[in-house]
Structure 1
């Protein structure tokens, strides 16, 4: 997997991570004056593949940028067995960004930010809110959180902080001492049940997306999680849309976002077939037949103790030890080595920034990478 960023010295850097399946930082390339074109990135990817060994590389995970997609095409021409695919976490982030741009969600977000700013910028209101928090049913202090542009998840945290403090904020809205510092429009907002219904409804729609991103960004996750995760997201949307208090005219827009962004995902059956076709001593048609047989037997003969065992067994252990007698198991073992996201690259940027900080800006990029 790979991705690019800019260092503290405003230098372009591309990091490469190899999963075995544990992620390992392979190399950090300072690109200098080179433009990050598809051809340039493809050449860097080819060098990494050759250094590792072409037969040891099964897939390449990047974001959905156009230059990365061009690099996929060029890499595929030279190494047909390597499957390039988009970062699932990035796809989910695009879904989240699309959702919060819908008018009703944007209005709720704007109201919550205005409310949080009003309270946080006043010492008196903050002190009064703290008093009401201790008197609320929760009986403890939860700070109001403002979203940060570079932290997309902070929008959900902002909505959640407002909902958690509902009783304390409503009490603040009718507090006589708060009136001089509290704008009339904010007081009306706090006492409006429509505002609270819409805020809670929006949180129910957005939180499953942020939870899915958090789950998929772990270092020990694999591609087998993706289809179930999207299926769960779709069910969550269908359950929460009716109670979310968004405009009926916007319900179709919400559903369309999931359909459109899902196109970024690779087709699971197609990936299984293509990988099987490239592996030695594997009949790809036989693999698809075994997959169909496995699915039908699993549905027909599933026992409670089997489902309990699945929950306590890793996917790799299942296919390598329990279901290891078929060609399908060999293909499954290879697919399970592929990461669902390029989050490990982002983490490498964070580690790099801790070393190559503003206080150590005289470090060269090559030196910092070591």
Structure 2
């Protein structure tokens, strides 16, 4: 824009000099055109930017990794000349991570203009799309006005579901409060440990022993056991370039384990450390819709350094009952006598969660 102004001023000065040195009709016409054309463009620009309206919407707010989030930007106005051209600045970032991607969307000419911002998310989580600034210009891009445009849209990126689809979850208007309320379990004694057999429930798998074995190891009980399992999700932010990839595996493992429990008729809960509340919180689910909602709440929790340390401290100090089968899903090297541990970096998730299909 500045280069155009400088070039314009130099052109006017040059034409004025030519008119002074040579009294010539052609030079006079050139001087008039150089002055009138920008003036006419400015008048149209001043009229067209009044009554201008911008609409932003997301056509697909629930997607899986790799699917396209289609953000539609529609510009309109009450002016006879139509709204001016412009550039809308956007920022895209995940709610659980501070990394930001910048983007600009150009709005072209016409009485009603529509364009799109295509974004293919590479990771699981809540995607926040902020539109921060709108800059409009006249048709010869000589005059401009910049507006602060505070607009935000959100989209959910879920793990890939088995049938490739997810129900649309209305999460933006939810005001439910989740309270940590662990249920008491019975004290049924473990009678034996044995290899996994057809018909066994994933509820009985001893995950810690199974990680170090070629076969799945299950607990043999004498009586019925408690029917709500606890899945502890470690959201510790690790300093590595592949953190987002590993976090995707955390979410995927939590979702798939929740599905495995539900297929066996077992209710469960996610337990995480919430740094904003400085306490642990839980999200119960009893069906697939509840699982998706619970996973959504987990994805809203911001990842922080030492989340697992805080979570483990609160659980041990307060002697919280985690149920009969607490499973910790983590990307860190961690040992515990309290939880069975699934390390997404080392353990084969395909092997773990294909039990129903008879995988070894």
Identify the TM-score tier after normalising by the shorter chain: under 0.3
Larger Rg: 2
TM-score (norm 2): 0.19
Larger RCO (CA under 8 A, 6+ residues apart): 1
Structure with the higher fraction of residues in strand conformation: 2
Scaled by the length of structure 1, the TM-score of the pair is 0.19
